[in-house]
């Protein structure tokens, strides 16, 4: 990461600007964008309201798709991340208590041809489970060696003025951080309640679901065998993701009232209810740490760009957690935006102009909309008791298990490999 002196020397090439680009939000998506721009020749500032230690301490865990892993490989940070993740080599889909199970394996995707950089001693994976702190810490460490990137942390943007020749940001921060900076382009990576998006007047559409998500970490008696489960119940999807040290992450979707009731149970009662959903295949279960409950919503920004502004990640879209696509969409956003910006910079174009930023919006908005729509469809298809739909979806699972082409295209979507491949992921 650059020192102030180094950046002042670089800024002399950016007449009248403190930085070329300001990323507001130093979480995983914002930090990934900064990493992707390491060789861009652009000066970048990351503005984060939380101290580094607090940002890393969050207890979330994420499904990391093969597309995301390829993006991180191309950026150059994968070798630091991969040893600390849990790969899963099998996915099992099922519908409530129906005995039919669809099993996905790497061979169903022809994975060896799609993962040229896979270590020879490591079995091919269909995806990975990443704990928030491990992933963000690896990105922060990587940025220490990026001379064109500076952190302003903790700092908060309190005013944004979009002018014809740049963007003026007023900051609230400690005394050693500037009170104001001027940049060419602002990227909002500040989450679903993005203040940058709202202050820019960009509206959103979507809805709150009738469901909330309960997340918890458990330790099963028997090995999880690096298998990811997604079981659909009429009340909502129920996912089990493998973690290191034979732990598992539970993502349990249920109607709001039921979710609140489950969250209020003591540990013994909660584990009893959990085992009814989880089954007996892994023996006795024990809880590790706290349980968390959050409402589920779908949100899509009416546009991703304005002159001098681009939205990425949850600032632009939120989807149902079924399939674990949320973070992966954000990682794909930043790979696309970084590519668009770097090509424009090389060609002498204004990186903050609508002409340039529309290329990013055209690339990502329809792809994200397709994922938001499909996750919504899955949740509505399986979260009901209507007999014709029950019969139809179970027939669909049987066909998917029997027909290899259906498995292949389902896996392409789940792994992100059906999307347009950014150049950083083509190495």
In tens digits, what is the pLDDT along the chain, a chain of 427 residues?
Answer: 544 434 443 443 455 789 999 999 999 999 999 999 999 999 999 999 988 788 777 778 999 999 999 999 999 999 999 999 999 999 999 998 888 899 999 999 986 544 444 443 456 899 999 999 999 999 999 999 899 999 998 999 999 999 988 999 999 987 778 889 999 999 999 999 999 999 999 999 999 999 999 999 999 999 999 999 999 999 999 999 999 999 999 999 999 999 999 999 999 999 999 988 877 888 899 999 889 999 999 999 999 999 999 999 999 999 999 989 999 999 999 999 999 999 999 999 999 999 999 999 999 999 999 999 999 999 999 988 888 989 999 999 999 999 999 999 999 999 999 999 999 998 6
pLDDT of residue 1: 55
Domain range for 348 is 4-59+132-205+299-387+418-425
- Residues near 1 by beta carbon (within 8 Å), at least 6 away in sequence: 143, 144, 145, 146, 147, 149, 150, 151
Rounded to 5°, angle at Cα 235 from 129 and 412: 40
The answer to whether residue 291 is domain-embedded is no
Give the integer Cα–Cα distance in Å for 108 and 97.
Answer: 25
pLDDT of residue 82: 93
Give the integer Cα–Cα distance in Å for 68 and 414.
Answer: 12
The answer to whether residue 44 is domain-embedded is yes
Work out the burial of residue 233: count CB atoms within 10 Å of its CB; fewer than 13 is exposed, 13-18 middle, 19 or more buried.
middle
- Residues near 333 by beta carbon (within 8 Å), at least 6 away in sequence: 29, 312, 313, 316, 364, 368
227 beta partners: 90
User: What CATH number has the domain bearing residue 355?
Assistant: 3.50.50.60
Report whether 411 contacts 125 (CB < 8 A).
no
Cα 243 to Cα 9, 23, 85: the distances in Å are 44, 30, 8
The answer to whether residue 164 is domain-embedded is yes
The answer to whether residue 175 is domain-embedded is yes
pLDDT of residue 121: 45
Work out the burial of residue 59: count CB atoms within 10 Å of its CB; fewer than 13 is exposed, 13-18 middle, 19 or more buried.
middle
Give the integer Cα–Cα distance in Å for 339 and 343.
Answer: 6
The answer to whether residue 350 is domain-embedded is yes
Report whether 124 contacts 425 (CB < 8 A).
no
pLDDT of residue 41: 92
Give the integer Cα–Cα distance in Å for 301 and 267.
Answer: 39
Q: Which of 205, 157, 153, 146 is nearest to 182 (CA)?
A: 157
Helix axes 66-75, 326-346, angle to 10 degrees: 40
DSSP-derived secondary structure letter, 415: T
- Percent helix, strand, coil in the chain (nearest 5)? 40, 30, 30
Report whether 93 contacts 407 (CB < 8 A).
no
Cα 383 to Cα 102, 139, 374, 378: the distances in Å are 18, 37, 14, 8
Give the integer Cα–Cα distance in Å for 358 and 306.
Answer: 9
233 beta partners: 236
DSSP per-residue letters across 135-204 = HHHHHHHHHTT-TTEEEE-SEEEEEEEEETTEEEEEEEE-TTS-SEEEEEEEEE-S-TT-HHHHHTT--E
Give the integer Cα–Cα distance in Å for 384 and 37.
Answer: 45
Give the integer Cα–Cα distance in Å for 260 and 258.
Answer: 5
The answer to whether residue 243 is domain-embedded is no
Give the integer Cα–Cα distance in Å for 21 and 308.
Answer: 9
Q: Which of 370, 317, 361, 314 is nearest to 336 (CA)?
A: 361
Question: Where is 361: in which H helix or E strand?
Answer: helix 354-382
The answer to whether residue 335 is domain-embedded is yes
Peptide bond into 322 cis (omega under 30): no
Domains contained in the chain, number: 1
pLDDT of residue 97: 83
pLDDT of residue 371: 95
């Amino acid at each position: 990461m650059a020192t102030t002196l180094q950046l002042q020397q670089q800024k002399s090439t950016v007449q009248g600007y403190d930085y070329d680009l300001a990323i507001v939000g130093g979480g995983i998506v914002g930090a990934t964008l900064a990493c992707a721009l390491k060789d861009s020749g652009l000066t970048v500032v990351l503005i984060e309201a939380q101290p580094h230690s607090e940002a890393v301490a969050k207890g979330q865990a994420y499904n990391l798709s093969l597309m995301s892993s390829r993006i991180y490989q191309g950026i150059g940070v994968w070798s630091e991340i991969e040893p600390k993740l849990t790969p899963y080599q099998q996915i099992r889909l099922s519908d409530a208590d129906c005995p039919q199970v669809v099993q996905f394996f790497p061979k169903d995707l022809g994975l060896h041809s799609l993962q040229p950089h896979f270590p020879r001693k490591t079995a091919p994976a269909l995806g990975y489970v990443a704990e928030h702190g491990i992933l963000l810490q690896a990105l922060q460490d990587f940025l220490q060696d990026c001379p064109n990137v500076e952190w302003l942390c903790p700092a908060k943007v309190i005013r944004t003025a979009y002018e014809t020749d740049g963007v003026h940001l007023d900051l609230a921060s400690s005394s050693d951080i500037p009170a104001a900076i001027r940049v060419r382009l602002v990227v909002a990576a500040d989450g679903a309640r993005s203040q940058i998006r709202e202050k820019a007047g960009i509206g959103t559409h979507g809805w709150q679901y009738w469901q909330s998500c309960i997340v918890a970490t458990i330790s099963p008696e028997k090995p999880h065998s690096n298998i990811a489960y997604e079981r659909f119940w009429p009340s909502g999807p129920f996912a089990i993701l493998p973690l290191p040290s034979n732990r598992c992450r539970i993502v349990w979707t249920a109607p709001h009232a039921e979710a609140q009731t489950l969250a209020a149970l003591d540990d013994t009662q909660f584990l009893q209810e959990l085992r009814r959903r989880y089954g007996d295949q892994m023996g006795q279960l024990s809880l590790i740490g706290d349980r968390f409950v959050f409402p589920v919503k779908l949100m899509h920004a009416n546009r991703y760009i304005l002159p001098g502004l681009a939205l990425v990640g949850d600032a632009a879209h939120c989807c149902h957690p079924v399939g674990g696509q949320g973070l992966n969409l954000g990682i794909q956003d930043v790979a696309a935006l970084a590519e668009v910006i770097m090509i424009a910079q090389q060609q002498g174009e204004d990186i903050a102009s609508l002409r340039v930023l529309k290329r990013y919006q055209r690339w990502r908005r329809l792809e994200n909309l397709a994922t938001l729509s499909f996750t919504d469809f899955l949740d509505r298809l399986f979260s009901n008791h209507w007999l014709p739909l029950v019969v139809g979806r179970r027939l669909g699972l049987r066909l998917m298990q029997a027909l290899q082409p259906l498995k292949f295209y389902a896996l392409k979507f789940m792994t992100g490999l059906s999307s347009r491949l950014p150049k950083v992921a083509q190495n």
